[in-house]
Amino acid sequence: MIFRRRRLAKFIGVCLVLLFALIASRNLVAGDVSSDSKRGRIYLVGVGPGDPELITIRAMNVIRGADLIVCWEGMREGFDRELEGKKVIQPPKGVWIWFGYGKKASDFKGKELDKFRRSEKARAQIITQVYRTVTDGKTVAFLSHGDPLIYGPWVWVLKEFKEIKPIVIPGLSSFNAANAALRRGVTSGKGTKSVILTMPDLPGLAKTDTIDKLASHRATMVIFMPFVRHTKLVDLVQRLSAHYPIETPIALVSYAGFKKKEAVIKGTLSNILSKVDHQKLPFETLVYVGDFLN
Ligand SMILES: C[S@@+](CC[C@H](N)C(=O)[O-])C[C@H]1O[C@@H](n2cnc3c(N)ncnc32)[C@H](O)[C@@H]1O
C-alpha cells in the first residue's frame, strides 16, 4: 500500500515538474514574441486632423512606446506632452519630404531639381537614422496628420522600409472632421452618390485625373491642399464652374476638428469669391463642392 502511494506521489511530482516546464517554456516563447514585436519596429501613425482630442488610443500607445519620432516641427504644438523627453527628428523647414521619391535627378530641371536635391538629402538623413534605430532593436514612429494614407507626406516610408514591414495606424482624416463640421451626409447628394477626394493639378506632378475631368461627373468633390504653391481659389472656381451649375454650393472648412478654431465658409460657385480672401485661409483648409450642401 505504502509502496503504491509513494509511486503515485512520485508520478504526480514528475507530472507537475513537466507541467511547470511546459508552462515556463510557453511563457518564454510568448515573452520572446512580445519582446520581438516591440523590437525594431516601424510605425506610420495617423494622429488625426490636429486637435489632440482626435488622436486614437492606439496611436497614443504607439507614440508612448516609440524610441524615435519622425514628424513635422509643427506637430510638437498639439502633442508636446506625448513627445516630451522623446528623441524627435523632423525634415528641415520648407522641404517637401515626399518630393521626387523613387525618381532620379535627371527627371527634374531648374527649381524643381533644387527642390528634389533638398528632399533627397533630407530623406537620406532620416533613412540613415531610422535604420540605425531599428538595427538597435528600437521602435520608430512616423507621425502623419489625419489618416497617413490620404495625401500623406510619409507614404514613401512603406516602400523604403518594405522589408521591415512598417505597421500603419489609421487616423481620423481631416475629411472626416470636415464632414462633421458641415453636418451634411456627404454621400447624399441630390443627383449623385459619390465623393471624389482630390487635389489641384500641380505642374510637374500632372496625373490623368485632372480637376476638369473629375468635375464633369458633378459628384461631390473634396479638394485637399487647395492653396498649395501658386494655386488659387479663383482658378479652382473657374474650372469647377465649367461643369457644375453656377448655383452649386461650395464650402471651405478650415481647421476641421479643432474645438476652438474650426471655421466654415459657405457660398455658391457664383458668389464664393466675393466671400473670401483665400490668401488669409490656412493650409489646413478643405474645399467641398456638391449639391449635398443644399
Ligand atoms: C498633406 S495633406 C494631409 C491630409 C491628411 N493626411 C488627412 O487625412 O487629413 C494636407 C491637407 O489636408 C487638409 N487638412 C489637414 N488638416 C486639416 C484640418 N484640420 N482642417 C481642414 N483641412 C485639413 C488641407 O487641405 C491640407 O492642405
Domain ranges of the chain: 38-172, 175-293
State residue 14's pLDDT score. Answer: 56
Sign of the torsion angle spanned by Cα atoms 180, 181, 185, 186: negative
pLDDT digits (tens, 9 = 90+) for 39-48: 599 999 999 9
Q: How confident is the model at residue 24 (pLDDT cuts 50, 70, 90)?
A: very low
Domain 175-293 has CATH 1.10.357.10: no
Q: How many Cα atoms sit within 13 Å of 272 on the Cβ side?
A: 27
Confidence at residue 181, expressed as pLDDT on a 0 to 100 scale:
98
With a Cβ cut-off of 6 Å, ligand 1 is lined by 49-50, 144-147, 150-153, 173-175, 177-178, 224-225, 253-257, 283-286
According to CATH, the topology of domain 38-172 is Cobalt-precorrin-4 Transmethylase; domain 1 (3.40.1010)
Does pLDDT of 27 surpass 60? no
% of residues, the chain, pLDDT over 70: 86
Q: With cut-offs at 50, 70 and 90, classify the pLDDT of residue 33.
A: very low
> Degrees (nearest 5) of the Cα angle 183, 47, 112?
100
Strand residues in 148-202 grouped as ranges (E):
167-169, 195-198
Q: Per-residue pLDDT for 15 more than 70?
A: no
Distance 225 CA to ligand 1 centre (A): 7
Query: In which band, very low, low, confident or very high, does the pLDDT at 203 lie, cut at 50, 70 and 90?
Result: confident
pLDDT of 267 reads 97
The whole-angstrom separation of Cα 8 and Cα 15 is: 10
What atom of ligand 1 comes closest to residue 152's alpha carbon?
Answer: 6
Q: What is the Å distance from ligand 1's center to 106 Cα?
A: 31
252 CA → ligand 1 middle, Å: 12
Atom 23 of ligand 1 has which residue's CA nearest to it? 284
User: What is the C-alpha separation between 154 and 97, in angstroms, rounded?
Assistant: 8
Would the CATH topology of 38-172 be identical to that of 175-293?
no
Mutate to test the pocket of ligand 1, among 72, 98, 143, 145 (most ligand atoms within 8 A of CB): 145
Output the pLDDT for position 32. 35
Q: Closest ligand 1 atom to the C-alpha of 175? A: 9
pLDDT for position 131: 96
188-192 own/partner pairs: CB under 8 Å, 24+ apart: 188/292, 189/219, 189/220, 189/290, 189/291, 189/292, 190/291, 190/292, 190/294, 191/218, 191/291, 192/217, 192/218, 192/219, 192/220, 192/290, 192/291
pLDDT of residue 38: 53
* Nearest residue to 75 via CA among 142, 126, 18: 142
State the average pLDDT over residues 177-200: 96
Q: What is the pLDDT of residue 247?
A: 97
Cα of 255 to ligand 1 centre, how many Å?
A: 8
Atom of ligand 1 nearest to the CA of 149: 6
Averaged pLDDT for residues 199-209: 84
User: How do residues 144-169 score in pLDDT, each as one tens digit?
Assistant: 999 999 999 999 999 999 999 999 99
Residue 3 has pLDDT above 60, yes or no: no
Cα(101) to centroid(ligand 1), Å: 21
Answer yes or no: is pLDDT of 34 > 80: no
pLDDT for 12 equals 64
Report the separation in Å between the CA atom of 23 and the middle of ligand 1, taken as the mean of its atom positions: 50
pLDDT of residue 96: 92
- Looking at residue 122, its pLDDT comes to 98
CA of 199 to the centre of ligand 1 (A): 11
Chain segment 73-122, per-residue pLDDT in tens: 888 777 888 888 899 999 999 999 999 999 999 999 998 999 999 999 99
Q: How confident is the model at residue 2 (pLDDT cuts 50, 70, 90)?
A: low
Cα-to-centroid distance, 112 and ligand 1 (Å): 24
For residue 212, the SS3 value is helix
* Best residue among 182, 224, 228, 260 to mutate for probing ligand 1, ranked by most atoms within 8 Å of CB: 224
Kind of pairing between the strands at 140-144 and 42-46: parallel
Q: What value does the mean pLDDT of the chain take?
A: 88
Edge-first strand listing for the sheet containing 140-144: 87-89, 68-70, 140-144, 42-46, 167-169
Task: Tell me the C-alpha distance between 191 and 214, whole Å.
Answer: 15
Give 287's contacts (C-beta < 8 A, 6+ positions apart).
222, 223, 226, 233, 236, 250, 251, 252
Q: Residue 222: is its pLDDT beyond 60?
A: yes
